[in-house]
Structures are given as C-alpha cells and as structure tokens.
Copies of this chain bind each other. A is one copy, B any other.
C-alpha cells in the first residue's frame, strides 16, 4: 500500500488498483442504470477507491458529462434574517435529497456579478431572492445556467401586500395620518419600496394622504428626531420597513417621552425575536418564506428534470399575517 501525498488520485489509479478499466470504475461509482457490473468487480472497485481516498474531479466530470449539479442561491442583503434563513433551509433540504449541491452568492458583497459567479462555478441553476433585470437574466442563461428562478410579479405582490397590511392595521385602529419609516443605515432593503407602495395604496383606499416617509437610522436619537417630525405632521401611526427600524422608532418615541401605542403606534415587519422581546412588544407582519423555499426547490428540480427549462414561476404565496401586540 503506497500513499501518494502530492498527486491527485485519478480514476485511472483506482482502475489500476482494482485491475479493471476506467470505464468500469466510472460505471461503478456512478451506479449506472445499465446494471451490468459483476458483484465481485463492483466491490473490488469500491474498495480500491476507498483505500486510495479517491475523489472524482468535479470539473472534469462536468466537462465530460456536460451537466452540472450545482445550484447557486443568490442572497441579496447581508445581515441575513430568519425569514431568508428559513427559506434557505427548506430550499437546501429539498435539493440535497436530489443530490444537488447548493452554494450561496452573497450579492451584497463586493466582487464579481451574479452571472460571473454563475459562470465561474458552472451552475446548473440560479435562484435569486430579488428580481433580476432582463440583461442579467440573459447573461445568466449565457453563463450556462439551465434554469433561472426569481420572484415574479406574484412575489412582488406579496411584498406590496405587506405594506398594505401594515397600513390597514393602523387605519383600522383609527389612525388617519400615517408615517413610513425607511431604513437609512443598513444596506437598502430592495423590497422596501414595494412595501411602501402597498402602504400608499391602503391610504388611498381609505381616502387618506400618503404616509410621510422618513429615513431612520438604527439609533434612538436619530429616530427621536424623525418622531418629532411625524408628530409635527400629526402622524399617529408609523409603518416601519422592518422590525429593526421599528425598534428604533420605538426607542425614539420612548426618548421623546411618548407612550406607545397611545401617542404613537408602530408596526414592523419580519417578526424578529428582538421585536417580540421589546417593551411594549411590537406589532409586526409575519410572512412565512418556508413554503416558498420548498416550492423554489421543486421548481428547480422539475426544471432540471428535463434539463431544458426556462424561467420558472412564483415562489408560492407565503402566508401573511399580522401579529398584534399592542
């Protein structure tokens, strides 16, 4: 038994060690459907591969086979919250079962563009959590991606619905002039705009002015300033683009000596743990991306099945609900 430390173990090495041809090795290791492998040969090959610590060269395999088992998941924003985490969890679980390998592209980081990364790893499928423009989409297809999945209009509608729910929540409780707290400090949440649109729609439907939008840092002093501007404009209820921003507004109101929700009502979005633990607990819109993760995985699988699929559809309709705490 000789241990080679410097050179890669190739399938030829395994073949030699097992006294068979490379073809046989390939058949055995890939469990080829044409089940023509003798039991003794099979185990001999397996043993040799194991003993030599053989790992097939993935790039060579992709080149020869002309297909890839890699799925690239593009995550837009960087501190990754629980919602996206749950999405990813379901997504990965479903794909793992089919032997696909998921790697993530952290789009918020500096570096090569999504199509470049896709090309570099030679992914079979790309799933993005944000809509891609036509150009990017074309580039992805050209990069070899066989299937490209992204939120479609339906998914956007869900985001819009979130803003709508927030505003409705406040309007139903008698608020006639609303504010909207946008995140200023963090990486701009790409979905914030869509949500705002929903809030605007809710106001319009109720015959109200559209919300007074103010960018808020995750800082009590800064939020206090925003709060005073809202107060000056007779705003009594504020929708925040996410829970962290909502917590900032809460802190700002507290600093201004205001009672929440008496003087100022706040509703967030995401249902992060910290929001539930705040005093008073935040009202927040909960949306469940788990189902979407599973569905996205199925779309990918189905599309890859025929190895010829195109842009696939929605990420399903997450259950939207508002958790009332105030």
Question: Do residues B80 and A79 form an inter-chain contact, with CB atoms below 8 A?
Answer: yes
Asked if A70 is at the interface (CB within 8 A of a chain B CB), the reply is: yes
> What's the nearest-Cβ distance from chain B to residue A115, in Å?
8
Given contacts A102-B111, A111-B95, A278-B278, whether A58 and B273 have CB atoms under 8 Å apart is no
Q: How many copies of this chain are found per oligomer?
A: 2
> Using an 8 Å CB-CB cutoff, how does the interface string of A237-252 with B read, 1 for contact, 0 for none?
0000000100110110
**A95 nearest CB neighbor, chain B only:** B111
Residues on B with beta carbons closer than 8 Å to the beta carbon of A197 = none
**A78 nearest CB neighbor, chain B only:** B85
Question: Do residues B120 and A93 form an inter-chain contact, with CB atoms below 8 A?
Answer: no
Asked if A82 is at the interface (CB within 8 A of a chain B CB), the reply is: yes
Asked if A307 is at the interface (CB within 8 A of a chain B CB), the reply is: no
Residues on B with beta carbons closer than 8 Å to the beta carbon of A111 = 92-93, 95-96, 101-102
Q: Which A residues have a C-beta under 8 Å from some C-beta of B?
A: 8, 53, 55-60, 62-63, 68-70, 72, 78-82, 85, 88-89, 92-93, 95-96, 101-106, 108-112, 116-117, 119-122, 142-144, 218-220, 244, 247-248, 250-251, 254, 272-279
